[in-house]
Amino acid sequence: MTELYRRICWLLNRRRAERELAEEMYAHLAESESDGRRNPAFGSTLRHLESTREVWGWTWIDRLFQDLSYALRLLRKSPSFVLTALLVLALGVGVNLTAFRLLLVEITPTVRDPDTLVELARWFPDGSGNTIAWPVLAFYGQHAHSFRAIIASHEDSVTFGETEPGRDPVTVRVNFVTASYFAEQAPPLIRGRGLAVFDESADAEPAVVVSRRFWEYRLAASPSLIGQTLRLNGKLVQVAGIMNDPKGRREDLWMPLAKQPMIVEGSTLLTDWTSPSVFGVARLNPGITVHTAEEESHLLAVALRQSHPEAVSKDERLGMAPFSSNRMHPQEIAAAAMAVTLIMLILVVACANLGSLLLARGIARDREIRTRLALGASRYRIVRQLLTESTVLAIAGSMVAWLLSAIAVEIFLTANGDPKNWALALDWRIIVATLATALFAAVAFGLVPALRLTGSAPHGGRARAVFLACQVGASCILLIVSGQLVRNFAKLLILDPGFDYRTTLTLSPGLQAHGYNDASSQYYFDNLLRGVAAIPGVQSAAVTWLPVWGNISSGFIDAGRKVLINRVDAGFFSTLGLRLTRGRFFNSAERNVVIVSDSFARWHWPGQDPLGKLLTNVSPATVIGVVAKGGSFDVQDTDAMAAYYPILPQDFRDASVVVRAFRNPGLLTAPLIAIARTPDPKLRPAYTLLSTAYDGAVDQSRRLVSILSALGLLATLLASIGLAGLTGYSVSQRTREIGVRIALGAPRSGVVRAVLRPLAAPVVFGITLGILGAAAVSSVLRHNLSSLRPSDPIAYLTAVVAFLVIVSLAVCIPARRALRIQPAQALRHD
Amino acid sequence: MPERPELVPGTLIMLVLRVLQTGPLHGYAISQRILQVSGEVLQVEEGSLYPALQKMLMKGWVEAEWGVSATKRRVRFYSLTPSGRHQLTAELSGYNNMTEAIQAVLKFA
């Protein structure tokens, strides 16, 4: 340790130390001369100084600086090469860094200690439900020893601000939560305070916490918001704090669950033991396993059944799953890994590209390298010198990439509506990843050329072919896979849900939240339909249990595939305009019948006539009709397997109306809301224009498509740069040969063939590799994206042809140069 | 000029340490002392003396201090440190063991 200390001291005082040493050695010389003992062996003092300096073991720093300054000098001399290399590297590394950053944003947990947080669900012997009645959840929370805290949340749409007559109210989403939400689960606050237990007491002023998004978009980021009042559903509430948006959720406001009945008038949420309406999350006590907690909940449910037999069914208990909003599902992880692999391919292309460029450049530097070897430089020393050059390039390129990706991530996050995350750019994982990628790239594209160029064998040919095949192969994989995905999503862009969504809207009065029962709900809807039909401009209206495009999960599993269900009234099909391929629609008040989608009919009764068959998955029902498409469930899936049942009396509490307008449905919203509120001014109906929902879904896909296409094109661009550069070098290298060919009367086609022939084998090999690789990647992708077609020859063909065309164009430029070579000049070329 | 015998490898540091045991000396004086004591046999070249001295400085076996030589030149005097004395003892005993062993082989083989 002290030795190291002395060595560092020496390094720090190195100039003085060397000066003193020189002085000492000259004094030695002078002494021995005055002694008359001129030492013949005294040789060069400089050489002695050099070897004495080596004792301290720092000479590698000198060499490094020599290498660096030499590398910089050389790179400064060839700016076009440096620019190409930086561009290629910045793109190759930048894409990787961007992906890595987005992945980090995705996986960074926002919840403290997520391992002891579990999501609660009710499990019964024959199914499960993910919402719980508040009194039941409170009962578990009070009596279970496994839980340190329970967190309940319930979302409602409420109107925000003063609503003037004749104007549409702004609907915002309020998450009614227990105070424990802020202690256990909430993201960090920006200002003010979170909700606390005292906010839940009956005489507390109603307090609200505002999301960052809401603060910025609706309240113009007002700096003095805390303590001001907002009007929700006409009630005044006081702002307590501003909070970051929870990841992956779109909530505007948070209020105490205890104040929900105050905002949503007539709500029985807090007292109704039978309607499951809140989401429950629990914080387990230290050392408690999920199993123990589930067992305990089973015992508690039995006890609860004694006092409230209507609240829990027999053998009911709580099921617990890890808190999910912070974790990626295994499927998502697989998809992310896939994306990372594809994106890594870009880096492979970039490295192979630079490798071949370096080789080509190295051949031009052959004379320099041979001279240095002849002057006694060791091969190791020259390889090190060449690697230093690549490292300098790689680090510079990665720095540009780092900057580019920081910008890209911000653009992406902003486009996605997520909060900015500049701090991420300085995250140590990003720095490490940048440096690691830079070093990996430097070795990947620098080592092989360095070894080939200093080797004694005649160099370059095979290594270049391998580099070439690598980049062609990787680019092809990317182009084919992205082409497939683009085609897949392009289908969505022109998707046809099987009905005209442009003049349709849905209106949800939210009866359940306002304490309606089955009978009063049905009565309400009967009146509403009559009133809506009387509005001028309304073509027809119908009642549906689940709103259009509002169901991606309710249903049953049939032979391993999910079948979505909905319950609708007789007018639903004609209002939406769903096309019937066989059979008939419901008659009013018909029971025990079902209408299935064509895809489900083909799945369940392949090759048979489904009409008259009995479907027993939910409750026994006879198939009376088949609709062409199940496109009313999930906007992303136009051909869902689906079954429609007649609406049941208990469905009306949650039901919505579907309204088809003759022309512009936007004009109907105000009269519709007015009619929906006429029987009960407490209600705050929410509407959705289906065209808006559709555009939102398509917009997301459009963004994905553009990203994917950009990746594929980027890879192709990189490969073209590489091929063009390579051809250019080979033309300039073979100038004399080509000149001789032209002088001897070779036809133009012969010259071009001679120039391009060495490319042929690697390109063909690379494309084959690419097709095989793409097939492998697609088979994995299909596993995750079930809508991807098994094999898409058009995507393969288009990709390969597109690749060839782009590459041919790129290679044209140097090939033309070959044709313009003047034989007389060429022969003078050295 | 008669051929001088080469210094036995690895002994230079030991010799320098031993010479310094009697008191601080500067570089030239060290080589002169070794030359005189060895009866003009062991000539220490500057090209090996100074690297050895630097190594000893690095190891902390000697300390250096500027002073003035008998010929009024500014020179650096080297003196043993406690750890240098330790090192000398260790090297001496190692060397003695080695020579005894070699002698034994030469005599009795």
- Find the mean pLDDT for residues A506-525: 85
A339 against A351, higher pLDDT: A351
- pLDDT tens-place string over residues A592-622: 899 999 888 888 888 888 888 888 877 788 9
Regarding beta strands A117-124 and A207-211, do their DSSP bridges make them parallel or antiparallel, or are they unpaired?
unpaired
Q: What is the mean pLDDT of the segment spanning A731-754?
A: 81
| Partner residue opposite A32 with nearest CB, options B28, B59, B75 | B28
Q: Across the interface, which of A3, A27, A47 has its CB nearest the CB of B59?
A: A3
Chosen from B50, B61, B65, B83 to mutate, greatest number of chain A CBs within 10 A: B50
* pLDDT tens-place string over residues A178-194: 999 988 877 778 888 88
Using CA atoms in the order A410, A415, A417, A419, what is the torsion angle rounded to 10 degrees?
0
Prediction pTM value: 0.61
What span, in angstroms and rounded, lies between the C-alpha atoms of B109 and B107? 6
**Residue A539: half-sphere exposure toward Cβ, Cα within 13 Å:** 17
- Touching check for A34 and chain B: CB below 8 Å? yes
From A29, A35, A55, residue closest to B54, measured CB to CB: A55
Structural domain includes residue B6? no
Is it the case that residue A256 has pLDDT exceeding 90?
yes
pLDDT score of A489 more than 90: no
Q: What is the enclosing helix (H) or strand (E) of A85?
A: helix A79-107
Tens of pLDDT, residue by residue over B7-33, are 666 788 899 999 998 889 888 889 888
Distance in angstroms (rounded) separating the CA atoms of residues A155 and A513: 10
Is residue A229 classed as helix, strand or coil in its secondary structure?
strand
| B 15-54 near A (Cβ less than 8 A) | 26-28, 31-32, 43, 45-47, 50-51, 54
Q: Residue A59: is its pLDDT beyond 70?
A: yes
Q: Give the CATH number for residue B98.
A: 1.10.10.10
CB of A32 within 8 Å of a chain B CB? The answer is yes
pLDDT at B1: 41
Q: pLDDT grade, residue A326 (50/70/90)?
A: very low
Name residues whose C-beta falls within 8 Å of residue A218's C-beta, 6 or more positions apart in sequence.
A160, A170, A172, A252
Phi, psi of A549 (to 5 degrees): 60, 25
Report the number of distinct structural domains present in chain B: 1
- Domain span at B31: 12-108
d(CA A181, CA A264): 20
Across-strand partners of A593? A622
Q: What's the pLDDT at A134?
A: 92
- Is the Cβ–Cβ distance between A711 and A798 less than 8 Å? no
**CB atoms A42 and B46 under 8 Å:** yes
A264 pLDDT tier (thresholds 50, 70, 90): confident
Q: What per-residue confidence (pLDDT) applies to B89?
A: 92
3 state DSSP class of A738: helix
Strand ranges inside A587-678, DSSP E: 593-597, 614-615, 621-627, 642-646, 656-661
**pLDDT-derived band of residue A257, with 50, 70 and 90 as boundaries?**
very high
CA-CA distance, A590 to A568, in Å (whole number)? Answer: 11
Residue type, B61: W
pLDDT digits 0-9 by tens, B29-84: 898 889 888 888 888 887 888 888 888 888 889 988 888 888 888 888 999 999 99
Interface check A72 vs B, CB under 8 A? no
Residue type for position B2: P
Instruction: Look at residue A162 in the predicted model and tell me its pLDDT.
Output: 64
Residue B2 lies in a domain: no
Q: Identify the pLDDT of residue A513.
A: 75
Q: How far apart are CA A397 and CA A388, in angstroms?
A: 14
How many CA atoms within 13 Å lie on the side-chain side of A702?
10
User: Looking at residue A660, what is its pLDDT?
Assistant: 92
- Answer yes or no: is B55 within a domain: yes
pLDDT computed for residue A657 by the predictor: 92
- Give the chain A residue nearest B76 (alpha carbons): A24
Task: Give the separation between CA A395 and CA A414, rounded to whole angstroms.
Answer: 28
Is residue B40 in a domain? Answer: yes
CB contact under 8 A, B50 and A47: no
Q: State the smallest CA–CA distance between residue B98 and chain A in angstroms.
A: 27
Lowest mean pLDDT across A35-49, A118-132, A368-382, A613-627: A35-49
Average pLDDT of the residues in A432-459: 79
- pLDDT higher than threshold 60 for residue A42: no
User: Given CB atoms, is A395 within the 8 Å cutoff of chain B?
Assistant: no
CB atoms within 10 A of CB A47: 10
Structure tokens at A261: 């009945």
For A643-671, the pLDDT digits (tens) are 899 998 888 888 899 999 988 888 888 88
* Cα(A225)–Cα(A214) distance, integer angstroms: 12
Looking at per-residue confidence, does A227 or A46 come out higher? Answer: A227
pLDDT band for position B2 (cuts 50, 70, 90)? very low
Task: Give A535-589 pLDDT, tens digit per residue.
Answer: 888 999 999 988 888 765 667 777 767 788 888 998 898 898 888 888 888 887 7
CB A450 within 8 A of CB A372: no
Mean pLDDT lowest among A313-322, A334-343, A478-487 = A334-343
What pLDDT, in 10s, does the model give residues A285-318? 888 888 888 888 888 888 888 888 888 877 888 8
pLDDT, average across residues A251-264 = 89
Q: Which stretch of DSSP H or E encloses residue A687?
A: strand A686-689
Structural domain contains residue B3: no
Q: Which residue of B has its CA nearest to A42?
A: B46
Tokens representing residue A417 in the block: 């509506």
Residue B37 located in a structural domain:
yes
User: Hey, are the CB atoms on B46 and A10 less than 8 Å from each other?
Assistant: no
The total number of residues written for chain A in this structure: 830
Q: What mean pLDDT, rounded, does chain A reach?
A: 81
pLDDT number for residue A553: 61
In the structure, what pLDDT confidence band is assigned to residue A701 with cuts at 50, 70 and 90? low
Within-domain flag for B43: yes
> pLDDT at residue A328 above 80?
no
**A658-694 burial by CB neighbour count: b if 16+ within 10 A, else e?**
bbbbeeebeebbebbbebbeeeeeebbbbbbbbbebb
Q: Is A389 exposed, middle or buried (0-12, 13-18, 19+ CB in 10 A)?
A: buried
pLDDT of residue A40 exceeding 70, the answer is: no
Question: CA–CA separation, A557 vs A158, rounded Å?
Answer: 35
Q: Does residue B49 belong to any structural domain of this protein?
A: yes
Q: Is beta strand A117-124 parallel, antiparallel or unpaired with respect to A317-322?
A: antiparallel
Chain A residues inside the 8 Å CB shell of B26: 24, 27
Residue B46 to residue A2, Cβ atoms within 8 A: no
Whether A511 has a pLDDT exceeding 70, the answer reads yes
